[in-house]
Structure 1
Amino acid sequence: MIKAILLFLLSFAGLASQAQKRELNDMKFSLEVLRLAMLSGDKAQLLQVTTPELSYGHSSGLVETQEQFIEKLSSGKSDFVSINISSQTIALYKNAAVVRHELNAETNDNGKAGTVKLQVVQFWVETKMGWQLASRQAIKIQ
């Protein structure tokens, strides 16, 4: 009887582990959708992966709403030529996640070439639309 209970508990733990892996993979997919949408300025994709209440904090101290964030990217005012993510960590909490990473990018904002090197923290929530970015803050790496 004890063996049967132990096997049951182990199989349940395996199912929980599989569910967590699926959630992690879904989160990674949403992160990549955001990265690609920021590169392309794809308004529909940016709407898909951000909440209407988005608070998007820049390293300069500027904080944008979802509408402002999407408008700058879709209009080309903020133009990413490349975005490379490294040292990424993801912490899942039921239907929320905290993501930290370093972002190295080449930009062409208003036709002016530049580079950025940032440490970023993001707060994501899982909604009926999937994982969506609710808040983001960045600081410059010296």
Structure 2
Amino acid sequence: MSTFDPVKLEAQLREAEGQRLSAMLAGDLETLETLLDPELQYTHSNGRVDNRDSLLELLGSGAVEYLALNHDFDSITQEGEVAVV
């Protein structure tokens, strides 16, 4: 059983989130496909909900283009191998 290291976990999550945001801004669908879980449910600020495939289609079509994205971590909770941000 591994020991939970909150500092290391937060650094890893921030790095992954930075990669995701950069890929979304760049429209880098190949990177997003590797970063996003196949069971993703993505809720946009307007309330629209997409799964991973429909989000990738939406971004690839040019119907949505992100100009800026910000995500602040308020808390991180870990349960086993799952972390909730």
Query: With structure 2 as the length reference, what TM-score do the two structures score?
Result: 0.78
Aligned residue among 63, 78, 82 for 2:68: 82
Aligned residue among 42, 56, 63 for 2:28: 42
- Does structure 2 conserve the Cα–Cα contact (< 8 Å) formed by 1:41 and 1:75? no
Equivalent in the alignment of 1:129: none
The answer on 1:60 being equivalent to 2:46 is yes
Question: Structure 1: which 5+ runs fail to align?
Answer: 1-15, 100-142
Residues 86-131 of structure 1: CA distance to partner in whole angstroms, max 9, x if unpaired? 4x223131322222xxxxxxxxxxxxxxxxxxxxxxxxxxxxxxxx
Cα distance between partner residues in 2 of 1:54 and 1:32: 17
Residues 6-64 of structure 1: CA distance to partner in whole angstroms, max 9, x if unpaired? xxxxxxxxxx46x4322221111110011101101111111111111111122333211
Query: With structure 1 as the length reference, what TM-score do the two structures score?
Result: 0.50
Aligned residue among 49, 69, 77 for 2:55: 69
| Identity %, equivalent residues | 27
Cα distance between partner residues in 2 of 1:96 and 1:37: 23
Cα distance between partner residues in 1 of 2:13 and 2:54: 24
Question: Structure 2: which 5+ runs fail to align?
Answer: none
Displaced runs of 4 or more, over 4 A: none
Structure number with the higher strand fraction is 1
Cα distance between partner residues in 1 of 2:16 and 2:75: 12
- Does structure 2 conserve the Cα–Cα contact (< 8 Å) formed by 1:55 and 1:63? yes
Structure number with the higher helix fraction is 2
The answer on 1:28 being equivalent to 2:14 is yes
Structure with higher Rg: it is 1
